[in-house]
Amino acid sequence: MKKHGVLNADLSKLLAEMGHTDKLVICDCGLPIPKTANCIDLALTKGIPKFLEVLQVVLDDLVVEKAIIANEMKEVSPDLYQKTLEILGDIPVEYCSHQEFKDMTHEAKGIVRSGEIIPYANIILVSGVDF
């Protein structure tokens, strides 16, 4: 049994396989998932696990050079947006429309579905390198 980090075997494997500039989506339970996507569905029920919990665990394990967030999160879910920025810390953030965000999910190496029910609780993390 692992002592630290992500215990979910599929998510741990995906994080280990991420290379520089690969994209990882963390999303709420309502975001459409492309049919061909590598989806790791962590959702148990509405609200469990929470988007912010999943984001924090992933950031503890993954080198991230930037994040992409839909503009709609700022407008519709401002509290979630502020908490997301706090968790991201110094990681640069780019913005796009929700439609552009959904289009970008087709390019992701993986999509991690949370149980979050707060609107627009979605983020794309672009993998960096630690050297």
pLDDT digits (tens, 9 = 90+) for 59-85: 999 999 999 999 999 999 999 999 999
pLDDT above 90: residue 9? yes
User: Can you give the pLDDT at residue 54?
Assistant: 98
pTM of the model: 0.96
Report pLDDT digits (tens) over 100-121: 999 999 999 999 999 999 999 9
Q: What is the arithmetic mean of pLDDT over 21-30?
A: 98
pLDDT above 80: residue 6? yes
Domains by residue range for the chain, with CATH: 19-127 (3.40.1650.10)
Question: Is residue 4 left, alpha or beta, with left meaning phi > 0 and alpha meaning psi from -120 to 50?
Answer: beta
98 is in an annotated binding site: yes
Q: Which of 5, 17, 20, 106 is catalytic?
A: 20
Say how far apart CA 115 and CA 66 lie, in whole Å.
24
8 is in an annotated binding site: no
pLDDT above 90: residue 2? no
User: Can you give the pLDDT at residue 43?
Assistant: 97
User: Can you give the pLDDT at residue 66?
Assistant: 98
Task: Judge contact between 70 and 77, C-beta under 8 A.
Answer: no
Give me the chain's average pLDDT, please: 97
What distance separates the 2 farthest-apart alpha carbons in the chain? Answer: 42
Task: Judge contact between 67 and 129, C-beta under 8 A.
Answer: no
Helix (H) or strand (E) holding 98, with range, is helix 98-104
120 is in an annotated binding site: yes
Does the active-site annotation cover 20?
A: yes
